Amino acid sequence: MIADLKPYAQYKDSGLPWLGQVPAHWRVVRNGSLFGQRSQTGYAELPILEVSLKTGVQVRSFGGAKRKQVMSDFGKYKRAVKGYLAYNTMRMWQGALGICPVDGLVSPAYVVARPYPDVEPQYFAALFRTGDYMAEIDAASRGIVKDRNRLYWDQFKQMRSPCPPPAEQAAIVRFLDWANGRLERTIRAKRKVIALLIEQKRAVVQRAVTCGIDPTGRFKPSGIPWLGNIPSHWTTARLKHCISRIEQGWSPQCDAQPAGDNEWGVLKVGCVNKDMFRGAQNKRLPATLQPDPSLEVADGDILVSRANTTELLGLAALAESPRKKLLLCDKLFRFRALAACFDSKYLVLLLRSRPCRAQIESSTNGASSSMQNIGQGVLKNLWLAVPPLPEQLQIVQRIAADTQPLTAAIARLEREIEFLREYGTRLIAEVVTGQLDVRDAAARMPDEVSADFAEDPGDEREDSELADEEAEA
């Protein structure tokens, strides 16, 4: 249905440089003729609403540990009636606006506007959040620095907007609800498939590093409870017997910007992440400080983050061809695999596998809820299953071969999601500015179309079906 959309038959100049041409039967009007400002106070019993960049207007939740800053005197809060437009004057240039889902109260710093008769507020909310309109809002906002830019009502009411006939506004809202719902369902289905593929990759690695490449071979008890059975020709060893000395780096006060070519930089913990090694995560070492060349990160170094949030704590990565002149920071452990025991790539895969991660995560320290630590002892005393070296190389190759299609599929799906998001943004902009005529499409839509049908349990079933189709593809 979306592919069938066509431009309108006739256009005229809108008189607005950012808008260009609009359908010949649309008007271009000032916002002051669409909305009237409302500043009603003294309704302390109503729920508090918040205006978010991401979610628009919603009832503020006071649950959980999240901070909720609230003025002590609700009497100053403004009443916002269901269906009214509310925007955050300080963030309007970023799209902080929405239509009130229920009667409530908003901060005195917000603007509340009542739509006049024959104005469909959802149409204008979509229009105000398009990139071109937000640029106009930015230009009309005032403040000492960009981050303090505010859009006052006097400026807002002078701004001009395209205005389709009322029935057409409703048709556009109806169409966008339907189109956004389809896009979101498709994206959810793709995200489910990505999660399955990631799980499948983990399973491939875990199977390989615990069972080897011959699952029909003979097994023996490893003697280590969490390790279970291992192939009968494998041995076990603590990590400290298989690696060089563990080193920690240096944390000088660095410049804010990354190091340039031929400058010394300090490699930060962010270099080790879920995507393995990101050598670009560095800060410039001030010229007044003397680098210790022995701390330079070299090809083949195994890096482990010793302090981070739980998800990234203890993650290992292999420094492969890092740029020159990068010093190790003090939140990274560094060691090298002893050539007689482990292939470096195999050891990193092993340390990132679920059983090892579970052992590391169960040994974390740290009082801070967001920052956890592990000591060298945790790593040194980690028990590992050790296959013969030739088999390690075979396992690395097998894992690479088995996970390559999964990695490629994940990358493809992520690209598709990005494309769908861009497509959705472009579609909204083209529809609300009259570049595409959706009247016929809206008239042919099923009756049950609703903006919040994402919550419909029936959708879950459709999501699963879509996800199954994706997975099969």
Partner DNA sequence: TCCCTATTATGAGGACCCGC
Partner DNA sequence: GCGGGTCCTCATAATAGGGA
Among positions 14, 93, 104, 107, the unique one binding DNA when judged by CB under 7 A: 107
Among positions 34, 90, 230, 396, the unique one binding DNA when judged by CB under 7 A: 90
Tell me which residues in 20-79 interact with DNA (CB under 7 A).
39, 50-54, 60, 65-67, 69-73, 77
CB closer to DNA out of 190 and 283: 283
In angstroms, the CA 347 to CA 205 distance is 12
CB closer to DNA out of 70 and 400: 70
Instruction: Give me the helix-helix angle, 389-432 and 344-352, nearest 10°.
Output: 60
142 contacts DNA (rule: CB under 7 A): yes
Among positions 235, 309, 381, 407, the unique one binding DNA when judged by CB under 7 A: 309
Shortest distance (Å) from residue 218 CB to DNA:
38
In angstroms, the CA 285 to CA 114 distance is 56
CB closer to DNA out of 165 and 366: 366
Identify which range of 16-24, 199-207, 327-335, 412-420 contacts DNA by CB under 7 A.
Answer: 327-335
Shortest distance (Å) from residue 432 CB to DNA:
22
Site size toward DNA, by CB under 7 A: 68
CB closer to DNA out of 9 and 256: 256
Among positions 14, 31, 308, 433, the unique one binding DNA when judged by CB under 7 A: 308
Shortest distance (Å) from residue 53 CB to DNA:
4
Distance of CA 462 to the CA centre of its chain: 24
Among positions 371, 408, 411, 443, the unique one binding DNA when judged by CB under 7 A: 371
235 contacts DNA (rule: CB under 7 A): no
* Contact track, DNA, 330-369, x by CB under 7 A: xx---------------------------------xxxxx
Identify which range of 84-92, 187-195, 386-394, 439-447 contacts DNA by CB under 7 A.
Answer: 84-92
CB closer to DNA out of 26 and 335: 335
- As a three-state string, the secondary structure of the chain is CHHHCECCCCEEECCCCCCCEEECCCEEEEHHHCEEEECCCCCCCCCEEEEECCCEEEECCCCCCCCCCCCCCHHHCEEECCCCEEEECCCHHHCCEEECCCCEEECCCEEEEEECCCCCHHHHHHHHCCHHHHHHHHHHCECCCHHHCECCHHHHHHCEEEECCHHHHHHHHHHHHHHHHHHHHHHHHHHHHHHHHHHHHHHHHHHHHHHCCCCCCCEEECCCCCCCEEECCCEEEEHHHCECCCEECCCCCCCCCCCCCCCCEEECHHHEECCEECCCCEEECCCCCCCCHHHECCCCCEEEECEECCCCCCCEEECCCCCCCEEECCCEEEECECCCCCCHHHHHHHHHCHHHHHHHHCCCECCCCCCEECCHHHHHCCEEEECCHHHHHHHHHHHHHHHHHHHHHHHHHHHHHHHHHHHHHHHHHHHHCCCCECHHHHHCCCCCCCCCHHHCHHHHHHHHHHHHHHHHC
329 contacts DNA (rule: CB under 7 A): yes
CB closer to DNA out of 85 and 179: 85
290 contacts DNA (rule: CB under 7 A): no
Identify which range of 239-247, 390-398, 425-433, 452-460 contacts DNA by CB under 7 A.
Answer: 239-247
In angstroms, the CA 420 to CA 182 distance is 10
Shortest distance (Å) from residue 129 CB to DNA:
13
Tell me which residues in 144-203 interact with DNA (CB under 7 A).
144, 147-148, 150, 152-154
What are the tokens at 1? 């249905």
244 contacts DNA (rule: CB under 7 A): no
Identify which range of 315-323, 328-336, 401-409, 462-470 contacts DNA by CB under 7 A.
Answer: 328-336
What are the tokens at 50? 């918040």
* Contact track, DNA, 246-285, x by CB under 7 A: xxx--xxxx-x---------x-xxx----------x-x--
Identify which range of 14-22, 85-93, 181-189, 347-355 contacts DNA by CB under 7 A.
Answer: 85-93
Shortest distance (Å) from residue 327 CB to DNA:
11
Tell me which residues in 400-439 interact with DNA (CB under 7 A).
none
CB closer to DNA out of 109 and 139: 109
- Determine how many CB atoms are found less than 10 A away from the CB of residue 141: 20
Report the chain's C-alpha Rg in angstroms: 29
Q: Which amino acid is located at 136 in the chain?
A: E
In angstroms, the CA 66 to CA 167 distance is 42
Residues binding DNA (CB under 7 A): 39, 50-54, 60, 65-67, 69-73, 77, 88, 90-91, 94, 96, 107-109, 142-144, 147-148, 150, 152-154, 245-248, 251-254, 256, 266, 268-270, 281, 283, 306-309, 312, 329-331, 365-371, 373-377
